[in-house]
């Protein structure tokens, strides 16, 4: 086992972020080719990703306990690891919602949201990849701005989607189900922005 001097927190953040990409890809693929009969199996696959990500986060925490002089403040490492882990949790929550609400078919406009979540995770991952060299990186700032921009797109998808839902649907159960799923989708984009904001705050503190 590598000692703490060999442990790279910045690379660990990227590895943790990679699980968000896997989760987003699984969600998007499942919604594109939705099969209600397979949803329980897909939820299990998603939970496996989330569980492995939790183990990665625990590894960061275990290293930090023994760390004499971390590269950035302990509180910032904990907060950033928690925020990245939360992205994976929010993506899992979308699929869990589809399962527990017994969704039988996916509304076409939902696909745009799952694709957007993938884009958010990719930009977040790019920002974390550049984070290690934040003092000289020429692309970190752009990656952070892109996450913020995509989150705003998510806000608009949420507003338009829910508005159109209430214009086109009268069934109260369907309204409840899809309002909640829209909320969970929008939260995925919010959680990516929280990671980007955390990176930006850490950079400001250390510059």
pLDDT per residue rounded down to tens, the chain (207 residues): 345 567 999 999 999 999 999 999 999 999 999 999 999 999 999 999 999 999 999 999 999 999 989 999 999 999 999 999 999 999 999 999 999 999 999 999 999 999 999 999 999 999 999 999 999 999 999 999 999 999 999 999 999 999 999 999 999 999 999 999 999 999 999 999 999 999 999 999 998
Residue 135's φ and ψ, nearest 5 degrees, are -75, -20
Would you say residue 3 lies in a domain? no
CATH of the domain at 188: 1.20.58.220
Domain that holds residue 195: 8-205
Residue 95 contacts by C-beta under 8 Å, 6 or more apart in sequence?
26, 27, 30, 39, 42, 43, 46
How many structural domains does the chain have? 1
Q: Is residue 101 part of a domain?
A: yes
Q: Which residue, chain included where needed, has tokens 């701005």?
A: 145
Q: Considering the entire predicted model, what is its pTM?
A: 0.94
Give the pair of three-digit tokens for residue 187.
Answer: 């939260």
Q: What CA–CA distance (Å, rounded) separates 179 from 31?
A: 17
Question: Alpha-carbon distance 106 to 98, whole Å?
Answer: 9
């Amino acid at each position: 086992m590598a000692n703490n001097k060999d442990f790279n927190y910045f690379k660990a953040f990227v590895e943790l972020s990679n699980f968000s990409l896997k989760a987003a890809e699984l969600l998007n693929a499942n919604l594109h080719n939705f099969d209600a009969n397979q949803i329980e199996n897909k939820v299990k696959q998603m939970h496996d990703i989330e569980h492995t990500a939790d183990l990665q986060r625990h590894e960061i925490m275990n290293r930090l306990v023994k760390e004499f002089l971390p590269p950035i403040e302990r509180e910032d490492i904990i907060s950033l690891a928690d925020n990245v882990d939360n992205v994976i949790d929010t993506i899992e929550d979308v699929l869990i919602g589809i399962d527990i609400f017994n969704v039988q078919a996916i509304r076409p406009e939902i696909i745009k949201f799952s694709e957007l979540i993938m884009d958010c995770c990719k930009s977040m991952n790019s920002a974390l990849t550049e984070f290690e060299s934040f003092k000289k990186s020429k692309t970190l700032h752009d990656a952070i701005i892109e996450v913020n921009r995509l989150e705003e797109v998510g806000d608009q998808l949420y507003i338009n989607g829910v508005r159109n839902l209430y214009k086109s649907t009268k069934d109260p159960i369907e309204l409840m189900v899809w309002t909640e799923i829209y909320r969970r989708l929008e939260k995925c984009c919010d959680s990516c922005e929280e990671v980007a904001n955390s990176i930006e705050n850490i950079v400001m503190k250390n510059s």
